[in-house]
Amino acid sequence: MAALKPKRIVLALCLALLADIATSLFLIRDGVFFNRPLPPFGARTHPNQLATLEKMGAEPAGNWAFDRELGWNWRPSSVSEDGRYRINALGARGPREYGPAPLAGTRRVLTFGDSFTFCDEVGAEDSFQAQLEALESGLEVLNFGVSGYGTDQAWLRYRRVGRGLGAEVVCIGLMLENIGRNVNRYRPLWATRTGVCVTKPRFVLDAGGAPVLVPQPYATRAELLAAILDGSVLEHVAEHEYWLGRPTVPSGKLSAFVRLSAGYLAYRERTPARLWREPAGEPFRVTLALLEHFQREVLADGARLAPVLVFPAKEDLTRYALTGRPYWLELYAELERRGLPFLDLIEPLVERARAEPGEHGVQRLYEGGHLSALGNAVVARALGEWLRAHGAGAPEER
């Protein structure tokens, strides 16, 4: 009987090896397991990026443009290829053109941030900026959001286009997922299923905790494309790319089981809830430093208020807020400790979701992955109330 034991061990190892090979051959395709890219992550993490790379060889049509400093940006006076998103001459969203200074008798509010600030997936008239203008006729509310941006890029874009526009209020949009973007230089390493292969600048903290810029590494779109195709993009962003090699995979691509285990670790590390619960972690510290210095700069430039607008993804409402498991309390505590004003948009969205009839309140607040016209209406009302409470409502209401 004892002699059979080694045979059983060998048999078990052989079966495990066969299962590993079968998983590699039939379940992992192009490094993807049920639409989840598996580590080790290369320059291309998902097959859907191939279509984007094919388009990068020519100047993109529509409103998206490569940007030497910001990574990407909206092209002024442009319209998206599908006609849905119009960018005005200042680089703000919508058909309305604004002058370099607010109209007499109005107060100007600028908004910077990512796709939740830009209001992806709804028309310009349904954005919270347009709805706030409709509610408060004495306000001009300009939408400078850019899809996919981190707080770092929003800050740099403010420096380029926001100064000198006579704003009394500059809102800094923060979607909770942005914490991972703020330590990222090559987008697919953070958002592995993205269809967009782009690099971005980021900030690191010096010994005193002040943010120091690490520039976007490519001068042209052609340079970026070449680096992605030959894989050298990973080498170029390796310094200060927080997500590179998280986690390491000792077997490389040889073992399917090791890659699946590493995939579990990779996506666990990339969970915003985990990152916001670690105040000592680099993503948390960098994000708070960005918000603080962004606000300071806005106020030094002459604005009176610079609130942080905290946006939740749909999952944040369904999985955490509505079940009484908020993971963003450390963020709020640190904002308060630093004396940084903010507007919690999660609470009014939760209230509206609970007030909606039936079981699909959250679904009505979102259009795809972003806020719907109704969700943006909640934001517009909450922001309008916050502005009035801080003496920054429409002038005629003072």
Per-residue pLDDT of 35-58, as tens digits, reads 889 989 999 999 989 888 988 888
**Same domain, residue pair 367 and 322:** yes
When pLDDT is cut at 50, 70 and 90, the band that residue 26 belongs to is very low
**Same domain, residue pair 4 and 77:** no
**Same domain, residue pair 249 and 270:** yes
DSSP assigned state of 108: E
pLDDT(248) > 90:
no
Q: For 352-387, give one letter per residue: b (16+ CB within 10 A) or e.
A: bbeeeeeeebbebbbbeebbbbbbbbbbbbbbbebb
**Same domain, residue pair 201 and 233:** yes
When pLDDT is cut at 50, 70 and 90, the band that residue 163 belongs to is very high
Residue 133, in any domain of the structure: no
Q: Which of 40-49, 56-65, 134-143, 352-361 has the highest mean pLDDT?
A: 134-143
Q: What integer is the mean pLDDT of 280-308?
A: 99
Residue 125, in any domain of the structure: no
Res 23: pLDDT: 42
The model's pLDDT over 229-246, given as tens digits with 9 standing for 90+, comes to: 999 999 999 999 999 999
- Is residue 40 reached through a cis peptide bond, with omega within 30 degrees of 0 on the bond before it? yes
The identity of residue 209, as a single letter, is: G
Q: Round the average pLDDT of the chain to a whole number and report it.
A: 92
Rounded-to-integer distance, Cα 242 and Cα 203, Å: 11
Number of domains in the chain: 2
**Same domain, residue pair 8 and 55:** no
**Same domain, residue pair 244 and 288:** yes
Rounded-to-integer distance, Cα 367 and Cα 66, Å: 27
DSSP assigned state of 313: P
pLDDT(21) > 50:
no
**Same domain, residue pair 212 and 250:** yes
Task: Identify the sign of the CA torsion 356, 351, 275, 178.
Answer: positive
Lowest mean pLDDT among 10-19, 195-204, 259-268: 10-19
φ, ψ (nearest 5 deg) of residue 302: 115, -5
Residue 14, in any domain of the structure: yes
**Same domain, residue pair 67 and 24:** no
Alpha carbon dihedral 240, 246, 248, 253, in 10-degree steps, equals -110
**Same domain, residue pair 260 and 334:** yes
φ, ψ (nearest 5 deg) of residue 130: -65, -40
Residue 291, in any domain of the structure: yes
Residue with tokens 């915003």: 272
Residue 93, in any domain of the structure: no
Q: What integer is the mean pLDDT of 330-358?
A: 96
Q: Does residue 260 contact residue 33 with C-beta atoms inside 8 Å?
A: yes
The token pair that represents 140 in the structure block: 């001009």
Q: What integer is the mean pLDDT of 313-324?
A: 96
The identity of residue 337, as a single letter, is: R
The model's pLDDT over 303-314, given as tens digits with 9 standing for 90+, comes to: 999 999 999 999
Please give the residue range of the domain that contains residue 381: 35-83+175-397
Residue 155, in any domain of the structure: no
**Same domain, residue pair 270 and 208:** yes
**Same domain, residue pair 284 and 262:** yes
Residue 57, in any domain of the structure: yes
Residue 59, in any domain of the structure: yes
The token pair that represents 267 in the structure block: 């996506």
**Same domain, residue pair 61 and 5:** no
